[in-house]
């Protein structure tokens, strides 16, 4: 297999962090969107950051157009961090291989999938990326299973195709180790609902991290939620009212962490001082929280490059690849204060 998806390659998030702007601003500048209302000073900062990181985007690619097609079938384009960021990275990775994208959304409905797949196959594509908005097990249509195809953010129930998704076990293990290294032992988990594949992985990661650290499992430290800020707020209030409240909280996404921030403040406590909070996703707004949120950035770029590499190579094996995210350290995690 090519090792492209493992190469250290600057992403939109890297450029945004260096320039101190949002990823959407970086995308608008580097793709030369004419009507974007972005000041000259901001544009200059983005360009300077992109050059410093040797960032490659479509706007910086030679003008010779792509000669091949990669089809993308995704169940939803619902406003979601994964869909926008992944497709943006996939576009850049495909362009480097002289490929363009044809993207369709099917809502997972067979009556929409079948004609979409037929249309894509008529274009004689290099391959097909079959992607899910949320990590889950899927029954892949036979036409896709028989084609040169890969799965992103999902796994075939019959294991017929190679797949890639974030490592949600590591999504808890790495933050947990980060927290224990700073003295925390009472660490809570705001997880998603039990039925989610990624929630099951996170729970496995939590138990593994506890066992590795020699910390007993406390059932009251785990909450299974739907991922909304209100859920994070209410669950954190409950946690902080326990006889022995946690000193740190790992959240299944940044949205629950936003709610956790509010609950900590309502209890008269300090985020990053009295209670450490760890998010997941690295939403643009996370860096503007007070204090800025420590979180895990999903491996959008790595998954996109993996998908393109697998489609453009020959003789790949069927495997289920997990790629860990990257901890983005900011101010919401601190050293453990003296035990109350």
Q: Pick the residue with more confidence: 236 or 141?
A: 236
Position 9 pLDDT exceeds 80: no
pLDDT of residue 24: 66
Fold classification of 1-60 (topology level) = 434 Repressor (Amino-terminal Domain) (1.10.260)
Q: What is the DSSP string of 96-157?
A: HTTEEEEEEE-TT-HHHHHHHHHHHHHT--SEEEEEEEEEEEE---HHHHTSSEEEEEEEET
Instruction: Provide the pLDDT for residue 167.
Output: 97
pLDDT digits (tens, 9 = 90+) for 19-46: 888 766 777 677 665 555 678 888 888 8
Calculate mean pLDDT across residues 97-107.
Answer: 88
**Is-contact 131 147, C-beta < 8 A?**
no
Q: What confidence tier does 68 reach under pLDDT thresholds 50, 70, 90? A: confident
CA distance 287 to 270: 17
Reported confidence tier of residue 85, pLDDT bands at 50, 70, 90: confident
Among the listed ranges 54-58, 95-99, 191-195, which one has the minimum average pLDDT value? Answer: 54-58
Whole-angstrom distance, CA of residue 99 vs CA of residue 67: 6
- 67-161 CATH choice from 3.40.50.2300, 3.50.50.60, 3.40.50.300, 1.20.190.20: 3.40.50.2300
Identify the pLDDT of residue 32. 63
Q: If you ran DSSP here, which 8-state letter would residue 21 be given?
A: S
Residues 6+ apart with CB under 8 A from 306: 4, 5, 150, 164, 321, 323
Q: Is 216 exposed, middle or buried (0-12, 13-18, 19+ CB in 10 A)?
A: exposed
In the sheet that 99-105 helps form, which strands lie side by side, from edge to edge? 99-105, 68-74, 127-138, 149-156, 163-166, 320-323
pLDDT at residue 226 in the model: 93
**Structure-model confidence comparison of residues 251 and 9, the more confident one:** 251
**CATH number of the domain located at residue range(s) 170-297 in this protein:** 3.40.50.2300
pLDDT tier at 8 (50, 70, 90 boundaries)?
A: low
Give the CA distances from residue 226 to residues 196, 200, 221, 223, 251, in Å, rounded to whole numbers and listed in that order.
Answer: 10, 14, 17, 10, 12
Cis, peptide link before residue 291, omega less than 30° from 0: yes
For the chain, the maximum distance between any two Cα atoms, rounded to a whole number of angstroms, is: 67
Distance CA 115, CA 130 (A): 15
319-330: per-residue pLDDT in tens?
899 999 999 999
Does the pLDDT at position 287 exceed 50? yes
Same fold flag, 67-161 and 170-297: yes
**Would you place residue 7 in the very low, low, confident or very high pLDDT band (cuts 50, 70, 90)?**
very low
Does pLDDT of 65 surpass 60? no
What is the structure's pLDDT at 60?
Answer: 41
The percent helix, strand, coil of the chain (3-state, each to 5) is: 40, 20, 40
- Stretch 235-262: mean pLDDT: 97
Q: Which of 210, 137, 132, 139 is nearest to 169 (CA)?
A: 210
CB atoms within 10 A of CB 10: 17
Give the SS3 label for residue 271.
strand
Q: Which of 103-113 are b and which e, b meaning 16 or more Cβ less than 10 Å from the residue's Cβ?
A: bbbbebeeeeb
Q: Are 148 and 93 in contact (CB under 8 A)?
A: no
Q: pLDDT tens, 155-192?
A: 999 999 999 999 999 999 999 999 999 999 999 999 99
Contacts 24+ apart (CB under 8 A), 76-80: 76/105, 76/107, 76/108, 76/133, 77/105, 77/133, 78/133, 80/133
Please give the share of the chain, as a percent, with pLDDT higher than 70: 88
Does this model's pTM top 0.85? My answer is no
Contact partners, residue 193, CB within 8 Å, separation at least 6? 199, 224, 225, 226
pLDDT digits 0-9 by tens, 295-316:
999 998 899 999 999 998 866 6
Digit-coded pLDDT (tens) for 113-166: 888 888 888 888 999 999 998 888 998 999 999 999 999 999 999 999 999 999
Mean pLDDT of the chain: 87
What pLDDT, on the 0 to 100 scale, is given for residue 62? Answer: 39
Q: What is the pLDDT of residue 339?
A: 53
Q: Where are the domains of the chain?
A: 1-60, 67-161, 170-297
CB 153 within 8 A of CB 165: yes
Residues 6+ away with beta carbon under 8 Å from 109: none
């Amino acid at each position: 297999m090519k090792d492209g998806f493992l190469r250290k390659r600057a992403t939109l998030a890297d450029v945004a962090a260096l320039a101190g702007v949002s990823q959407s601003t970086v995308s608008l500048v580097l793709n030369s969107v004419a009507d974007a209302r972005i000041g000259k000073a901001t544009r200059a900062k983005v360009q300077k950051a992109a050059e410093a990181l040797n960032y490659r985007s479509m706007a910086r690619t030679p003008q010779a157009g792509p000669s091949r097609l990669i089809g993308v079938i995704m169940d939803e384009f619902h406003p979601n961090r994964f869909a926008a960021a992944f497709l943006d990275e996939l576009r850049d990775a495909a362009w480097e291989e002289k490929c363009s994208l044809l993207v369709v959304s099917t809502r997972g409905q067979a009556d929409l999938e079948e004609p979409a797949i037929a249309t894509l196959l008529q274009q004689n594509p290099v391959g097909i990326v079959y992607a899910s908005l949320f990590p889950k097990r899927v029954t892949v249509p036979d036409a896709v299973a028989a084609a040169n195809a890969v799965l992103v953010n999902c796994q075939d129930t019959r294991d017929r195709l190679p797949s890639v998704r974030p490592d949600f076990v590591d999504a808890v293990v790495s933050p947990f180790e980060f927290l224990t290294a700073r003295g925390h032992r009472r660490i809570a988990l705001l997880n998603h609902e039990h039925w989610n594949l990624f929630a099951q992985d996170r729970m496995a990661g939590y138990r593994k991290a506890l066992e590795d650290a020699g910390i007993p499992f406390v059932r009251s430290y785990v909450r299974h939620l739907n991922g909304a800020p209100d859920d994070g707020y209410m669950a954190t209030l409950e946690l902080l009212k326990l006889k022995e409240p946690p000193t740190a909280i790992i959240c299944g996404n940044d949205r629950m962490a936003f709610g956790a921030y509010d609950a900590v403040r309502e209890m008269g406590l300090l985020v990053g001082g009295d209670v450490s909070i760890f998010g997941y996703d690295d939403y643009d707004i996370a860096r503007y929280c007070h204090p800025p949120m420590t979180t895990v950035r999903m491996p959008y770029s790595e998954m996109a490059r993996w998908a393109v590499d697998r489609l453009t190579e020959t003789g790949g094996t069927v495997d289920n690849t997990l790629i860990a995210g990257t901890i983005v350290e900011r101010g919401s995690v601190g050293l453990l204060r003296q035990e109350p």
